[in-house]
Amino acid sequence: MASSYLVLACHGGEESKDAMYANLKSRVSNVCDEVCKFDVPESLKFGSFDSLIKLMDDIAKYDGQVETILRRIERQMLELDPKADFKVLFRQKTMTIESYIRSFIWDDTKFPRNRNVADNLAHLVMTVQKIDEDVKAKAYTFTDVKTSLQNANKAKASGGTLATAELVEVLTPEVVDADDFIDKAHLATVVVIVPRGSEKEFLGSYEKFDEYVCPRSAKQFQKLVDGKLTPITDKDGNTLWRVVIFKNSVDNFKTTAKANKFTVRDFSYSVDEYTAVQQKLKTLQGEFAKQETNLKRHCAASYSDTLVAWMHCKAIRVFVEAILRYGVPPNFAAFIVKPTSKNHTKLRTILSDVFSASGLFGQNYIGTAGDKKADGAEGGEDEAYYPYVSLSLAPFAEAKAA
């Protein structure tokens, strides 16, 4: 994944931007892995200085909002696939995150230069908020299907009890014989849960629970395990039995069984119901796979669109700060550097030397509420004040935390 970057801008001075770029690149080569030009148009429309000052008060907030949405989409992608491949689709070309940042080009189609910069920013934020809402909606749909599938699979999961299990998933056609369940005009079959170690007691007493219990009708349900019939049990060792009784005696049988610590489950065996349950499960599995694939694709596209928007937000922020610092007509140079480590002390010293020695600090800076700390002061990159434009850029949360 891409590392953290710094977005920098200084006064254009008398040098060509190519010369400034070459000088900066040579001076920071030992402390930066990369130095790139940052394509921030100088022809953006902004109206008056007062409008820029007002925009300066809002743009840091918008920057943070867009980043928050980017992080949320990133987390969603990694939850779906820890090895998710992050790419940018720009102008019908798929690029790595690093390639897009290195070769950033202003998108006049989405953000026309002849449109006021405040309007471009408002459009950008609105677009990203819509992306966020769409991702949340699709994630909700996916989670709903996932929950339904998890609930449907609970009966099959190990560690359950016969008292709570869906018996349609336990007493399957592979387990039930043709004459196990008798349902006639006057006869019914009940399913009884017998506690571990109480089998002998059950067999000796169940016929006395009601006078209309069919003698010797108790039968333990078994399943084939490794070619051998084995009693169906749960995690507590309880076993499952059937008893045939007269229908008008079912309620009394339940009451008496409960008094003797045996549990009667309400269950009517049906092959059709079992088939319907399996079909529902298959449908849920198919829908889960479909929604997961859709969400992965949507998140990948949304991450790409949000990162593109965030890069333009950074470019607008650089433009606004550069105009307020260096005045008009616009004359500034912007760069993106990737420091070799999180310790930026040496890099900051070199940057101060490079820009000041070249007379590129500029003298027309109009202070804003965002200026808090002098160069070298503690605090985040975007909180400190440097005599040049300096913004942090971390495409991924891991890189920012590094």
Contact 34, 305 (CB under 8 A): no
Give the per-residue pLDDT at 27: 92
Contact 245, 264 (CB under 8 A): no
Q: How many Å is the Cα radius of gyration of the chain?
A: 35
User: For the sheet containing 263-265, what is the strand order?
Assistant: 219-220, 239-246, 187-194, 263-265
**Distance, CA of 209 to CA of 99 (rounded, Å):** 78
**Distance, CA of 32 to CA of 97 (rounded, Å):** 18
Question: Nearest-5° angle of CA 189, CA 177, CA 156?
Answer: 85
**367 burial type by CB count under 10 A (0-12 exposed, 13-18 middle, 19+ buried):** exposed
Write the CB contacts of 100 (distance below 8 Å, at least 6 apart in sequence). Answer: 88, 90, 307, 308, 311
**How many other CB atoms sit within 10 Å of the CB of residue 21?**
16
**Distance, CA of 393 to CA of 310 (rounded, Å):** 9
Question: Nearest-5° angle of CA 137, CA 140, CA 143?
Answer: 155
The first and second tokens of residue 368, run together, are: 């804003």
- CATH 1.20.1460.10 range(s) for the chain read 5-145+287-401
**Distance, CA of 137 to CA of 303 (rounded, Å):** 15
**Distance, CA of 113 to CA of 108 (rounded, Å):** 6
- 110-146 residues labelled b (16+ CB within 10 A) or e (exposed): ebeeeeebbebbeebbebbeebbeebeebbeebeebe
Give the per-residue pLDDT at 157: 57
Contact 71, 143 (CB under 8 A): no
Length of the chain: 402
- Tell me, which fold does domain 5-145+287-401 have in CATH? subunit c (vma5p) of the yeast v-atpase, domain 2 (1.20.1460)
The first and second tokens of residue 31, run together, are: 């402390």
What residues form DSSP beta bridges with 5?
A: 393
- CATH 3.30.70.100 range(s) for the chain read 172-268
Q: Which of 136, 131, 122 is nearest to 62 (CA)?
A: 122
**Distance, CA of 287 to CA of 146 (rounded, Å):** 9
Helix axes 49-80, 117-154, angle to 10 degrees: 20
Give the per-residue pLDDT at 169: 87
SS3 content of the chain, % helix, strand, coil (to 5): 45, 15, 35
**Distance, CA of 18 to CA of 35 (rounded, Å):** 12
- Tell me, which fold does domain 172-268 have in CATH? Alpha-Beta Plaits (3.30.70)
Four-point Cα dihedral 355, 356, 362, 363, nearest 10: 160
Could you list the pLDDT tens digit for every one of the 402 residues in the chain?
Answer: 456 899 999 988 778 888 889 999 999 999 999 999 999 999 888 888 788 888 888 999 999 999 999 999 999 999 999 999 999 998 888 999 999 999 999 999 999 999 999 999 999 999 999 999 999 999 999 999 999 998 877 756 555 789 988 898 899 999 999 899 999 999 999 999 999 999 999 999 999 999 999 999 999 999 988 889 999 999 899 999 999 999 999 999 999 999 999 999 999 999 999 999 899 999 999 999 999 999 999 999 999 999 999 999 999 999 999 999 888 888 899 999 999 987 788 999 999 888 875 555 544 444 443 443 333 333 445 556 788 899 999 998 865 433
- Helix (H), strand (E) counts: the chain: 10, 12
Give the per-residue pLDDT at 364: 44
Contact 236, 197 (CB under 8 A): no
**Distance, CA of 401 to CA of 235 (rounded, Å):** 44
Instruction: Write out the H or E segment, with its range, that includes residue 63.
Output: helix 49-80
Alpha helices (runs of H) in 241-270, residue ranges in sequence order:
250-259
Contact 218, 182 (CB under 8 A): no
